[in-house]
Structure formats: structure tokens, C-alpha cells
Amino acid sequence: MLNSTMKQKNSVIRQILTILILMLLVIVAMAILSPDTYFTPKNAKSMIFQFPEFGILSFGMMLCMIGGGIDISLVGIMNLSGMTAALVMLALIPNESTASDGKLAFALLAACACAIAVGALCGIFNGLIIGYFKIPAMLVTLCSLQLFNGLVYAVTGGTAVTGMCASFKEIANGTIPGTWIPWVLPIFVVVTAAVALILHQSKLGKEIFYLGSNRVVSEYSGLSTLKISVLTHMISGILGGVSGILITSHMNAAKSSNGTSYTLLSILIVVLGGVHPNGGRGNIIGVTLSVILMQMVTNAFTLLRISQDVKNFANGVLLILTLVLVIFLQKADEKKRTNM
């Protein structure tokens, strides 16, 4: 047991060091290729504004993958939640110029609460089908992705929902008064801390790890896999709801095509961050650092004028290479233990 714990700690440290080395390589590369634009306060501030929305989404993916599943529908949940927030804002504040501060505050809280509630309900829907009917998570969430995006399209008619008040736009684009710090940064920090507590300090977190390590043994040991599935996907859905608020505020528009590249990006972030693709292993520190790394890479691609198609291709190649490396190292470790 002690040896196993030490190996896990060494694995986490190795993963963190790997990410830090990759960050250093990005910094060195951009110091050569684009030193005048990459290393500026304006660019650093731009990166801080951007990464929380897909970073929080990646935490939802992380929870599901540690539990031995996956949530392909997160972008759909994000867009459905974002649309909900936008419609609530428009219903409560059709004209900001005539609205009082109290009414604006109430509208913002109501819009955010409704978006998060929709995200939670979507997650519960996924978790119930996966847990009760024992259908693979990939199949269920792939179908629900189409369902959620279809709902957005049906409600909006394929057009973007726009015209939200400036106060709503301020959530993802504004800064804390008197400082340069974007509002999204403390939001990201609070969400990260909450996910860390759930994953590493709660009974549910331990059950998620246990379920991901061996589903069959978990079922025979008396764990309620249905309960774990529902709670895991509910939390994932809530995180998708928060991301939906941020991306809708950031774009000042709600539509089904928002964040189309985030599914692949979130999976890449999670695997790079040390979550095993088969479940049972992962940590919040590695994934958080991976979020920052991928923001650095994405920003570098943008400054170098690399197209979105090439970015997606590079992310796909990197994900495949990472998966192959993870499985190769796992097999090498198993072979080493067998020989001992």
C-alpha cells in the first residue's frame, strides 16, 4: 500500500514537471519567434481572460474521465446553459437604461442560477441513463450532445441570441474595480478550489477514483454506481453551466456553434494533466497547469497566425501521441512489476 502511494505521488510529480518543461519550451520558442507580441502585459491579460471558460469545462471532463467515463456533451451543455442565461437576461432586462441597480443585480443572479440549474439537469439526465441502463458514457453523451445543441437550435432558429445588457457582458470581459484583474480569474480560482475539495477531500471523490479504477469490483463492493454516475455528471453539468455563462458573456452572444473546438481541447487538457484515459487516476494540480499550458500554446498559434484548422490538427496529433505514451508507460510499468 505504501509503495503504491509513493508511486502515485512520484507519478504526479513527474507529470507536473513534464508540464512545466513544456511551458518553458513554449516560452523559449515564442522568445525566438514573436518576442515583441508574446511577452507583453496586454497579451498576458488577454490570456487570463480566455482560459477560465475552457478550463472550467475541462474540470467537468476530468471528473467524468477519472470515474472511468467521458462527457462528450459538455459543449452542448455549455451552449444550452449559455442560451438560458441570455434569454433570462433579455426577459428581465429588455432595456438596461431604465433598469435599477437592484433589478440588474437580481437579473444577473437569476440568469446565472438558471444557467447552472440547466447544466445540472443535463448532467443528471446523462448520469441516470449511463448509471441505470449501463450504457457506455461515450455513446450516451455523444447522443445528448446532439440533443442539447438541437434544443439550442430549435429555440433560437439557428440565429445568435444577442442584445444582453452591458452588466452581463462585464462578467467575462470586465475587471475588478480599481485593478487590472479580470472577474473571470477569481471565478476560476473559486471553482478550482471547489473541484479540488470534491475530488481530493470528499467521500464522493474517493468513490469516483475507486469506480474508475475498477467498475466491476466497485459494484460488488456495494458502491452505488448509479448514485456516483448521477452526482459526477451533475457536477460536470454544473461546471458546463458556469462555462456557458462565461462564453456567452465573453462573446455577448448565445448560439449552438460556440466553443466547437472545446471538446477535443478539454480531453487533451485532461490527459496531458495526468488523468488516465481508462480512469482511476488524476489530480487537479496537473489539470490546472495543463489548462494554462494549452492557453499558452493556443495564444502562440494565434499570434503566429496559424489557422483554426491547423490548431485542431495539432491538438489531435498531440492527443494521440499523449494517449500512446500513457498506455506505453503503463504497460512498461506492469511488465516491470511482473518481472519483480
Q: Bin 81: left if φ > 0, else alpha if -120 < ψ < 50, else beta.
A: alpha
Q: Which residues contact 111 (CB under 8 A, 6 or more apart)?
A: 84, 85, 86, 88, 89, 92, 168, 245
User: Count of CB atoms within 10 A of residue 106's CB?
Assistant: 14
Q: What is the Cα–Cα distance from 79 to 77, expressed in whole angstroms? A: 6
Per-residue pLDDT tens over the stretch 47-94:
999 999 999 999 999 999 999 999 999 999 999 999 999 999 999 998
- From residue 171, alpha-carbon distances to 77, 105, 109 in Å are 19, 12, 11
The CATH number covering residue 245 comes to 1.10.3470
Q: Is there a domain that residue 21 lies in?
A: no
In-domain check, residue 178 = yes
Provide the residue range defining the domain that includes 230. 46-339
Phi, psi of 116 (to 5 degrees): -65, -40
Q: Does any domain span residue 53?
A: yes
| pLDDT value, residue 338 | 66
Residue 32 is assigned to a structural domain of this protein = no
Cell, residue 319: 492527443
Q: Is 175 helix (H, G, I), strand (E, B) or coil?
A: strand
The answer as to whether 232 is a domain residue is yes
2 domain residue, yes or no: no
Secondary structure of residue 161 in the 3-state scheme? strand
pLDDT attached to residue 177 = 92
List the chain residues with pLDDT less than 70.
1-8, 333-334, 336-340
CA atoms within 13 A on the CB side of 334: 6
Residue 240 lies in a domain: yes
* Residue 334, pLDDT score: 65
pLDDT of residue 1: 47
List strand residue ranges (DSSP E) for 153-246, in order: none
Q: Per the domain annotation, does 39 fall within a domain?
A: no
- As for how many domains the chain has, the answer is 1
- Paired with 254 in beta bridges are 161
Short-list 174, 164, 178, CA closest to 49: 174
